[in-house]
Structure 1
Amino acid sequence: MREFTVPALVEPAPTGGLADSVYAAAEAEPDLVQLSRRTEDGSWAPVSARAFRDEVLATAKGLLHQGVRFGDRVALMSRTRYEWTVLDYALWTIGAQPVPVYPTSSAEQVRWILADSRAVACVVEHEDHAMTVGSVCDALPQLRSIWQLDAGALRMLELAGRAVPDDLVLRHRAAVTADTVATIVYTSGTTGRPKGCVLSHGNFAAETDNLVARYSHVFRNNNSEQPSTLLFLPLAHVFGRMVQVAALRAGVRLSHEPSLAPAELMPALASARPTFILAVPYIFEKLMQRAREAAEEAGKLPAFEKAVDAAVRYAAAQERHAFGDGPGPSAGQRLQHQVYDRAVYSKVRAVLGGRVRHAMSGGSAMNRELGLFFAGAGITVYEGYGLTECTAAATANPPDRPRFGTVGHPVPGTTVLVAEDGEVWVSGGQVFQGYLDDPGETGLILRQGWLATGDLGELDEDGYLTITGRKKEIIVTSSGKSVAPTVLEDRVRAHPLVAHCMLVGDNRPFVGALLALDAEALANWQQRRGKPPATAVDLRTDPDLMHELQRAVVGANTAVSRAESIRAFRILAGEFTEAAGLLTPSLKLRRRAVAETYADDIEALYAEASGPPM
């Protein structure tokens, strides 16, 4: 199959913007608990639709008082927290455009994003962020204000805006249409320089309204229980923003958690007790890893592995039945599943607060067996696929017939086409307007209404998409972070000892580097230090050489954020050559060939390195 379409379930709204849902909810159900806000003692305080609307309106008035106008761009540099959501909706209320900035961004990245977007103001989380922005202010003549959340930015805006009449805010909101730009989200390009994706209010509405309709059993009230979710994805990422918008449009109770570290995330899940979560595969991998470690510490690892196998086989039998290929789990499998549900699976669910039965995963590929395990343990993970350029999701597994190991069907209102060369193309209301002030790059990716994703894929006979590779060279880690490799590679390769450097990390927990050393330079280095002749492999444990190369890696990492940085490297036995098929005639890396040749070294790199915390 080359093309598959799923009709829209919700027609696009002809007028209005994203902030309208906040004001409509306050009018229709003023006492509805719209959000939960963390208090100083760690508990969750309910925020009603009326209270949230009032805070958004007060902040919007303060922004107007401080000179922010319709169409202005305001950068937001923070972790995921309640105040970000208030600011998003306040800015959307007055037709301004939030510009997310990862809180781990380097000064160089901050300077580029603020300069390219021509942001007139920047909201940061704390003093360190303020200092980062301050260090590049001289290159940002258009930047007029910096506000700090931890220093009471929202309270300051509220006080400043008291003299602004409500009617002025409402006139701004009335001017927002579906085509109005909602946000500029920067994403890494093939050159390594971030490009600003222009996403409209209509893009988010088309995406979220159709997802909510398709997954109504997840987003809507069932059995009188209000759906709720804990948002721990970065709001600087389009996936996190999509979750935020979908929750508030659907009446889902939304809570925020800024940290992915287990010590903070696990207690937050336990106390917030969401009914569903949205995450990246890395989260599910970590949950599985922690469960296995706990079983091993308790001396119950063999029993745990049997429970995992039973869950996978149970879910696989259910999957076959859904597609008409079998009778479903046998009587023996059902009985075994009940036993393990009490002993093992219920404990896995308890880690997520005990109420989660559904989850959505995106950002990178998820292992089929992992998806089957969670389904067998009572948590169905709907894997999806998308890009910043299509407002997060282009496809997702349907709720009635998920096919684990694939990224599912097109989101309602979307068509997926596999081009002649295997590239995945997408068409739908969520496809972005283009790259900010870059018609050249826009023309390369938007082709007569189609978004050329740069990813390779296959559609099966039932219209399920499987991603098979990338035309572009961007690395996507298992946490969903996109990394442009060439900037780091070139910086590491600038060291005299390094002949070639290639980054790895697709669907891995962090970015690693393969280093091919210059044989002549290495020999000279050894001679200067009075070391006996040895091969590059023999010197893998030499502390002086490792320190030298570590300096090169650390120097390269200063150009990027921590999430994009090289966490581990491995010295290879030889250099890359054209004769070996590892370089093109113009001496560019043949990445797939290098990865295949050094597959064992890549596995060893991740086996030996200590991965980052979740």
Structure 2
Amino acid sequence: MREFSSPALASSAVTGGLADSVFDRAEREPGLVQLSRWTDDAWRPVTAAQFRDEVLALARGLLTRGVRYGDRVAVMSSTRYEWTLFDYALWSIGAIPVPVYPTAAAEQVRWILAETAAVACVVEDEDQAMTVGAVCDALPELTGIWQLDRGCVEQLTADGAGVPNALVHRQRVGVTPDSLASVIYTSGTTGRPKGCLLTHGNFASVADAVLDGWAEVFADTRGDQPATLLFLPLAHVYGRLTQVAAVRGGIRIGHHGKLATDSLLPALAAFRPTFLHAVPYIFEKIHRRAREAAEASGKLDVFVQAEQVAIDWASAWERRAHRRGPGPSPALRLRHAAYERLVYQRVRAVLGGRVRAVMSGGSMLGRELALFFAGAGMTVYEGYGLTETSAAITANPPDRPKFGTVGRPVPGASVAIAEDGEVWVRGGGVFSGYLNHPRCSQEALYRDWLATGDLGSLDEDGYLTLTGRKKEVIVTSSGKNLAPAILEERVRTHPLIAQCLVVGDNRPYLGALITLDPVALSHWLKARGRPQLDVRQILADHELHQEVQRAVAAANTTVSRAESIRAFRLLPREFTLEEGLLTPSLKIRRAAVAERYAQDIDELYTG
């Protein structure tokens, strides 16, 4: 087993619970703007002292409603200020938040609330209240449903007015790093979601490692307070870690509840973050929209040239950082400077104009896309983690990123590659096991190592490259084993293609189900003077098929014939979260898609 470790930092000792950082910050810097809250069409500051007082008041209200140390309380909502408020109020009294995705079906909600024995559930609106209400007869422990848009925070705060603060503090001092902080369910890409038991120490150790190891990434070059807009789902471990790190690090944080770019981009422009945590979907959408805008204005050639210069520029700096080259040549510097105002400045303006660094996780980001953003002045530091590792277990270091990899172990963590290529990890963020699944816990944990189920390799410098999932390996009828993830990612680099799912289990060759980006498709038709097509016309359009075939052929050039896609099928619409075909972190649920489109897959291998 090949192994690489990063030494823990001197300041990595973790004490107490997560809520302590709220009270400690308010004591040290009461006037620091800890959060910004969107109210009355503007971002309103919330100081550390104000946030502490709100947390304390809500915690008192929770006590009056019977929530006690160790109780589980579900939170079913999009990302918003009140979620963070409930997290810290619950942690202040030793209770355990259980996140539930707002799009979860009634059966999923029943399963999670029953398995965790939740005593109450916070919901966002009437629809979610009805979803929980529909299954509450099967949940004898559930004693309350609190609705955010009906003023539950104000009601709970008023209820706790007579409770002494000392009662909350007595609960808080009983919380230790080993205390359970949250039960977060896995995304369920390969089976039924399982609840991961994550402690206060798990979250704190990863957050502190990231804050210390990437301090220069988060710092604003103008000396302003670092600020980030949290738009990742707080029901996902990555969003949760972002929240914890921001509060522990004195980083100003705002909330936005939608990943869709049509609402996210205006929010970013108004908030103007200094850095971001994001998923590859965001970069893909921004890049595509920038390209479409250039084409619409008749400047596609300029954009394509600027794109290549950005990639060459970032590649040259990457080689220099690893002592494999001198950096950009004088001629490349001049070309890069020429495109700064024409292209790169405008790309950065989409994210508010102040972002110079982005942490990316959740799925694989293409190397060329990462190079483009780095060359445009926004370095993307790709990392890797699981729910079981409290998010980040590896990340590209700030001084020496290797684009296309997920970096090296974060401080205090180790990564190893088993004989079969599986990635094993250990560190302070690794969970203690799955709720009510001792056998699964034993299979995943060996001593202090976690078998991730991911496949990958380590280079000589300890950088990890992921190649797929063990459970997603396709075995063709000839016995060839193939990991589809990298091939899928290469197909998706084409501007028209939204999603690609490679199939071929027990089949003679690989096929692919492909969905199209509707905005990009509309733009493609308009640029060619073609009328907008309905679904049937789209599926039958010969020129469009040729365009997609070129994307598939380009991806096939990087693999052997046995690993290539021999046939593909265009689908009439994208895979969506609402249909149950995507996880909340926007990964494809392979089994669900294969079941939904079984006939289309069969037709790839007939005729």
TM-score (norm 1): 0.80
Partner in structure 2 of residue 3 of structure 1: 3
Q: Structure 1 residues 410, 79: CA separation in 2 closer, same or farther (over 3 Å shift)?
A: same
Partner in structure 1 of residue 245 of structure 2: 246
Partner in structure 1 of residue 381 of structure 2: 382
Following superposition, the deviation at residue 15 of structure 1 comes to 3.0
Q: Structure 1 residues 234, 474: CA separation in 2 closer, same or farther (over 3 Å shift)?
A: farther
Letter in 1 for 2:28: A
Per-residue deviation, residues 65-110 of structure 1 (Å, max 9, x unmatched): 1011110000010000000000000011011110001111111111
Letter in 1 for 2:272: R
SS class of match (2:243):
helix
Kept after mapping to 1: 8 A contact 2:467/2:485: no
Kept after mapping to 2: 8 A contact 1:410/1:416: yes
- Mapped partners of 1:149, 1:254: distance in 2: 20
Partner in structure 2 of residue 23 of structure 1: 23
Q: How many residues align?
A: 523
Q: What is the 5 A alignment of 1:323-342?
A: 323-342=322-341
Following superposition, the deviation at residue 10 of structure 1 comes to 4.5
SS class of match (1:413):
coil
Kept after mapping to 2: 8 A contact 1:59/1:90: yes
SS class of match (2:37):
strand
Kept after mapping to 1: 8 A contact 2:488/2:501: no
SS class of match (2:98):
strand
Following superposition, the deviation at residue 129 of structure 1 comes to 0.4
Letter in 2 for 1:38: W
Q: Structure 1 residues 558, 290: CA separation in 2 closer, same or farther (over 3 Å shift)?
A: closer
Q: Structure 1 residues 558, 425: CA separation in 2 closer, same or farther (over 3 Å shift)?
A: closer
Following superposition, the deviation at residue 557 of structure 1 comes to 4.3
Partner in structure 2 of residue 528 of structure 1: none
Partner in structure 1 of residue 440 of structure 2: 441
Following superposition, the deviation at residue 191 of structure 1 comes to 6.4
Kept after mapping to 2: 8 A contact 1:124/1:149: yes
Check if 1:227 corresponds to 2:231.
no
Following superposition, the deviation at residue 13 of structure 1 comes to 3.6
Q: What is the 5 A alignment of 1:369-518?
A: 369-473=368-472
Per-residue deviation, residues 509-554 of structure 1 (Å, max 9, x unmatched): 55869799xxxxxxxxxxxxxxxxxxxxxxx87xxxxxxx99xx99
Following superposition, the deviation at residue 4 of structure 1 comes to 0.6
Letter in 2 for 1:429: G
SS class of match (1:3):
strand
Partner in structure 1 of residue 155 of structure 2: 156
Q: Structure 1 residues 136, 558: CA separation in 2 closer, same or farther (over 3 Å shift)?
A: farther
Q: Structure 1 residues 191, 155: CA separation in 2 closer, same or farther (over 3 Å shift)?
A: same
Letter in 1 for 2:160: G
- Mapped partners of 1:424, 1:503: distance in 2: 15
Q: Structure 1 residues 428, 513: CA separation in 2 closer, same or farther (over 3 Å shift)?
A: closer
Kept after mapping to 1: 8 A contact 2:217/2:398: no
Check if 1:134 corresponds to 2:137.
no
Kept after mapping to 2: 8 A contact 1:417/1:426: yes
Following superposition, the deviation at residue 192 of structure 1 comes to 2.1
Partner in structure 1 of residue 511 of structure 2: none
Partner in structure 1 of residue 82 of structure 2: 83
Check if 1:32 corresponds to 2:32.
yes
SS class of match (1:234):
coil
The alignment's C-alpha RMSD in Å is 3.1
Letter in 2 for 1:261: A
- Mapped partners of 2:160, 2:299: distance in 1: 60
SS class of match (2:391):
coil
Kept after mapping to 2: 8 A contact 1:510/1:566: no
Partner in structure 2 of residue 268 of structure 1: 267
Kept after mapping to 1: 8 A contact 2:423/2:455: yes
Q: Structure 1 residues 276, 59: CA separation in 2 closer, same or farther (over 3 Å shift)?
A: same
SS class of match (2:204):
helix
Kept after mapping to 2: 8 A contact 1:56/1:89: yes
Q: Structure 1 residues 175, 289: CA separation in 2 closer, same or farther (over 3 Å shift)?
A: same
Partner in structure 2 of residue 56 of structure 1: 55
- Mapped partners of 1:256, 1:451: distance in 2: 32
Partner in structure 1 of residue 254 of structure 2: 255
Partner in structure 1 of residue 165 of structure 2: 166
Letter in 1 for 2:196: C
Kept after mapping to 2: 8 A contact 1:513/1:570: no
SS class of match (2:245):
helix
Letter in 1 for 2:287: M
- Mapped partners of 1:409, 1:504: distance in 2: 20
Letter in 2 for 1:72: D
Partner in structure 1 of residue 92 of structure 2: 93
Partner in structure 1 of residue 357 of structure 2: 358
- Mapped partners of 1:365, 1:561: distance in 2: 15
Q: Percent identity?
A: 60
- Mapped partners of 1:436, 1:573: distance in 2: 36
Partner in structure 2 of residue 206 of structure 1: 205
Following superposition, the deviation at residue 440 of structure 1 comes to 0.5
Q: Structure 1 residues 512, 3: CA separation in 2 closer, same or farther (over 3 Å shift)?
A: closer
- Mapped partners of 2:427, 2:306: distance in 1: 42
Check if 1:124 corresponds to 2:129.
no
Following superposition, the deviation at residue 439 of structure 1 comes to 0.9
Per-residue deviation, residues 321-365 of structure 1 (Å, max 9, x unmatched): 111111110001000000101110000000000000000000111
Partner in structure 2 of residue 482 of structure 1: none
- Mapped partners of 1:460, 1:6: distance in 2: 14
Letter in 2 for 1:445: A
- Mapped partners of 1:106, 1:514: distance in 2: 27
- Mapped partners of 2:91, 2:243: distance in 1: 13
- Mapped partners of 2:220, 2:315: distance in 1: 29
Q: Structure 1 residues 560, 419: CA separation in 2 closer, same or farther (over 3 Å shift)?
A: closer
Kept after mapping to 2: 8 A contact 1:31/1:49: yes
Following superposition, the deviation at residue 503 of structure 1 comes to 13
Q: Structure 1 residues 55, 511: CA separation in 2 closer, same or farther (over 3 Å shift)?
A: farther
Q: Structure 1 residues 71, 327: CA separation in 2 closer, same or farther (over 3 Å shift)?
A: same
Kept after mapping to 2: 8 A contact 1:274/1:353: yes
- Mapped partners of 1:511, 1:332: distance in 2: 38
Kept after mapping to 2: 8 A contact 1:210/1:413: yes
SS class of match (1:68):
coil
Following superposition, the deviation at residue 173 of structure 1 comes to 0.2
TM-score (norm 2): 0.81
- Mapped partners of 1:263, 1:458: distance in 2: 37
